[in-house]
Chain A
Amino acid sequence: MTIARLVLWRLLQAVPVLLLVAALAFALEMVAGDPVTASLGPDATAAQRAAAVAQLGLDDPLPLRYLRFVGAALRGDLGVSTRLARPVGGLIAERLPATVELAGVAFVLSLAIGIGGGAYAAVRRRARSTRLLLLASLFGVSLPTFLTGTLLILIFAATLRVLPSFGRGEVVALGGWTTGLLTGSGWAALVLPALTLAAFQSALLLRLVRDGMIVALDSEFVRFARARGLSHGVVLRHALANALTPVVAAAAVQLGTLVAFSVVTETVFQWPGLGQLLVESVATADEPVIAAYLMLVALLFVAINLAADLLCLAIDPRLRVAPAGGA
């Protein structure tokens, strides 16, 4: 079946991508970094260093070491943080919930604003409210994230004092997952960072949806649907479905970006997520963490893009006849 073939094909395509990213991570961790000094400290004797080199297998040829690195990563062994002396996997698992919740809420927010606002701007093309909306979206796409975040803090945290400016609030542990979505202070803490992270994304989506919707509304099939008396609401719904097909791919990249590059937002709001972990790790040259982050982000992008492809297939029957991997 075509869909099964497409999934298989995309997974096969993902393998070299992931291997390449792993090679970069490996280069960063094993070659650019100095695992011996990292594990023994700068004061080790030559004999200690030689023993460590032998024990870590650092004498082996590079390809062998690379394979060993990939094998360990596949088993979930991502090395040990040089800064915190703890397994990297555990560190990431600890920080992941904060970032996923922040990115998830920001994503839902940007979908709601982007699709709702974009459709409105297309339907009420000349309304004053539409011009206002487009002006706001222009700010959204042009203001840098750190500025948006700082402005929001200035207004809502420093001046009005209605929302916290940093941290995650109270969190509840559910198994290995900590969530801020079950407490009032958790939600309050989430508002400003989620708005900040969503600002750019929703403005971009709004413009994409608006353009697609304008094309759809002017298309022949909408004209024909109106000519045979389908109601305004029904026609709008079909036009929106057609306008959204090309947006799905863009939105998927957005979601990946939200998770991967929440770095700035997390720094501004001191949000205890992956972005902040990355910043701390870069500052202290904690290569194993940086390498693991790199691979995680690559995996995330592959998974999200696959999901987007499947979603497009579900929406648009025209794509289902194309040969797998074809145009």
Chain B
Amino acid sequence: MTLLAVEDLVIEVPGGRAVDGASFTIEPGEVLGVIGESGAGKSLTGAAVIGLLPAGARMSAGRILLDGERIDDLHEEDWEDLRGKRISAMFQDPATALDPLRCIGAQLNETLNAHHPMIEKVRRERVGDWLDAVGLPRERMRAYPHELSGGMRQRLALALALCPAPELLVADEPTTALDAPLRVQVAALMRRLAGRQRTAVLLISHDLHTVAAAADRVAVMYAGRIVESGPAEAVLRAPAHPYTAALLAGLPGVGPRRARLPAIPGAMPLPGTRPDGCAFHPRCARVAPRCRREAPTLAPGTAACFYPLTAQAAHG
């Protein structure tokens, strides 16, 4: 049974719709990578799933279902029961994500205790296990966040987000603040630890290496909509949507060399300035008259494009 279903999600910000009818699903234990440029609405989508939309953003249409039950209309008290235990999240900046005043062991201990009360001795053992799991020495239990490197902090954040054993982890740009060599390492660690306890992951990133290292499936987001989705390997190797192809082309080592396009000209439309037809048409090298009039829709496992680069339904 589908774990998470996001249906026709619309999120409004001052100025217009930042997310404009996004739909996707995640199966239990699956890692879905959502990629796209900044401003595509990826982070707002993740924030809506964890029920922590920033002030000023409002979900105005659509549904979010967890195990078939709506969670987008929950009250804050009900969210408190849900968060951690069933859905957890981690964010971009490891420098500010941890309480600077308390040592890392205490923060792990507190998070474990909030969801799975157990006797002190067992809990301390579990804290040590989690530090082991993310490659931090047990002896550093008493260390404070400022004494750790950025990579260590983000690995600790991973432990904090995963230790309640949630069914779903929303990981919003978890590797963006890290140096390039660390990104793949943290992404792979996330995949391994989440897989170990069957936690599904909504991995939001504009770093394709991160997504390639962790995701089972990929959804490409552009101007508030999903424009292509499919198995990670297939999408990254043979993109169908010209936008996906353009994203991959900007990247050495991932994607098809033969399909290399010049850097994507122009900029993604801001909320409220979406053009008629396909939102990508002003920037698309393959634009045709139909693209300016009609908006293509996304059928499962395909690209929302009238003239895809590969045959429709290639991703199955």
Contacts and interface: CB of A to CB of B under 8 A. Distances in A.
B83 interface: yes
Interface in B85-126: 85, 88-91, 93, 96-103, 110-111, 114-115
A221 B97 contact: yes
Interface size class of A (residues with CB under 8 A): 20 to 34
Interface in B114-146: 114-115, 144, 146
Contacts of A224: 89-91, 97-98, 157, 160-161
A315 B100 CA distance: 10
Given A221-B98, A241-B101, A318-B100, A230 B161 contact: no
Contact of A229 (B85, B97, B98): B85
Interface of A: 219-221, 223-232, 234, 238, 241-242, 245, 315-318, 321
6 contacts: A224-B89, A224-B161, A225-B99, A229-B111, A316-B101, A317-B100
A219 B99 CA distance: 10
B83 A229 contact: yes
A230 B93 CA distance: 19
**Most A CB atoms within 10 A — which of B93, B101, B115, B147?**
B101
B33 interface: no
B114 A229 contact: yes
B279 interface: no
Nearest to B55: A218
B80 A232 contact: yes
Contacts of B99: 221, 225, 238, 242
Contact of B101 (A225, A228, A242): A242
Interface residues of B, number: 33
A273 B101 CA distance: 40
Contact of B144 (A220, A232, A318): A318
Contact of A220 (B50, B93, B115, B164): B93
A228 B91 contact: no
Nearest to A318: B146
A220 B177 CA distance: 14
A224 B160 CA distance: 9
Contacts of B76: 232
Contacts of A228: 83-84, 88-89, 111, 114, 160-161, 164
B43 to A, nearest CB: 12
Nearest to A315: B101
Contacts of A317: 100-101, 103, 144, 146
Contact of B52 (A221, A226, A242): A226
A240 to B, nearest CB: 11
B115 A223 contact: no
Contacts of B103: 317
